[in-house]
Amino acid sequence: MARVAYVDGHYPDLPAAVVAVEDRGLQFADSVYEVIALVAGKLVDLDQHLVRLARSRSGLGLPAPMNDAGLRVVLREVVRRNRLRDGLLYLQVTRGQAPRNHLFPAEPRASLMVTLRSWTPFPNSLASGVAVVFGDDLRWQRCDLKTTGLLPNVLAKQRAQEAGAFECWMVKDGVVTEGTSSNAWIVRDGSVHTHPLSHDVLGGITREVLLELAAANGIQVLEQPFRPTDVGSAEEAFLTSTSSFVVPVVSIDGNEIGDGIPGPVTCRLRELYRDHVYGPAG
């Protein structure tokens, strides 16, 4: 069955889905996006994703392509037409098309595009942990906005893959900020640490929910910066994102973290998030 997309009022098959060559999202990365997990037919944490989308739009002064209710209808229709139970839904809002000019168009008309692809949540291949490398954080100064200006992330992720790693944790002014597409966490002395929200990190939705789950289950989380040397001496480490939820990190730059296997705090948080997605087992 052909995948179905959404582009500005139409639901074309994916190969026929096109955008204008003068769309500002294409020419300037003048656009924002969200990735939302579809699990068992449900868009996970949809409300939080739409709140963040609105915040990112506001940060760029982007108009809304439609109201919130209309957007939810479009997303549900894309899910229905693709007949998937598990997948990753991608939506992007651009400032629309206009003759190329650095200045905003006088009367911008936002463009919306949505795609959905098949995906397996909580794959066994990630349960045993992944390798991470460090890299310089070369991104702009508003990483809290989820824009499509991702070239530094892409280059860092590619370097990580070429080094045999799953992710790159970026370092700025001697502090670990986040991964190229994930938030970074360590466990030291039984407490969980992650970078506080700032312009240097994206407020991940999985991060937001995991903080709530940790608090509700008596797991202490300290939102404070940590350094690469702190990672090396950590008992555990893990990363979070919409596309992988909670993933143990068992080595950094080729050096084992803790015992080199997923630790008990990480496994507990992974279990709590799985219950959040599916409901408690049994």
pLDDT tens-place string over residues 49-63: 999 999 999 999 999
Establish whether 146 is a catalytic residue.
Answer: yes
Residue 111 pLDDT greater than 60, yes or no: yes
Q: Which of 42, 146, 157, 172 is catalytic?
A: 146
Is 208 part of any domain? Answer: yes
Q: In this structure, are residues 47 and 208 in contact, taking their beta carbons and an 8 Å threshold? A: no
- Pick the closest to residue 38 from 93, 107, 101, 117 (CA basis): 117
Is 84 part of any domain? Answer: yes
**Same domain membership, residue 204 and residue 98:** no
Q: Is 277 exposed, middle or buried (0-12, 13-18, 19+ CB in 10 A)?
A: middle
**How distant is the alpha carbon of residue 48 from its chain centre?**
12
**Same domain membership, residue 243 and residue 147:** yes
Helix axes 264-278, 205-216, angle to 10 degrees: 110
Is 1 part of any domain? Answer: no
Which pairing describes strands 130-136 and 167-172: parallel, antiparallel, or unpaired?
A: parallel
**What's the pLDDT tens digit per position in 208-264?**
999 999 999 999 999 999 999 999 999 999 999 999 999 999 999 999 999 999 999
List alpha helices for 145-278, DSSP H.
Answer: 151-162, 205-216, 228-232, 264-278
**Same domain membership, residue 86 and residue 34:** yes
**Same domain membership, residue 72 and residue 46:** yes
Q: Which domain holds residue 175?
A: 124-278
**Same domain membership, residue 139 and residue 53:** no
CATH no. for residue 225? 3.20.10.10
**Same domain membership, residue 147 and residue 74:** no
Of 118, 148, 181, which residue constitutes the final position of a domain? Answer: 118
Per-residue pLDDT, 282: 45
Residue 280 pLDDT greater than 80, yes or no: no
- Pick the closest to residue 278 from 7, 53, 85, 18 (CA basis): 85
Tally of domains in the chain: 2
**Same domain membership, residue 259 and residue 224:** yes
CATH no. for residue 48? 3.30.470.10
**Same domain membership, residue 93 and residue 205:** no
Is 18 part of any domain? Answer: yes
Of 64, 85, 118, which residue constitutes the final position of a domain? Answer: 118
**Same domain membership, residue 130 and residue 269:** yes
**Same domain membership, residue 262 and residue 130:** yes
Is 233 part of any domain? Answer: yes
**Same domain membership, residue 135 and residue 79:** no
Helix (H) or strand (E) holding 248: strand 245-252
**Same domain membership, residue 163 and residue 106:** no
For residue 253, the SS3 value is coil
Per-residue pLDDT, 281: 64
Distances (CA, A) of 250 to 11, 28, 32, 257: 43, 38, 32, 5
Of 94, 118, 142, which residue constitutes the final position of a domain? Answer: 118
Distances (CA, A) of 203 to 16, 210, 258, 280: 34, 12, 27, 26
Cα–Cα distance for residue pair 161/168, rounded to 1 Å: 9
Which pairing describes strands 221-223 and 191-194: parallel, antiparallel, or unpaired?
A: parallel
Q: What mean pLDDT is reported for the chain?
A: 97
Confidence band, pLDDT 50/70/90 cuts, at residue 1: confident
Share of the chain above pLDDT 70, in %: 99
Confidence band, pLDDT 50/70/90 cuts, at residue 15: very high
Q: Is 55 exposed, middle or buried (0-12, 13-18, 19+ CB in 10 A)?
A: middle
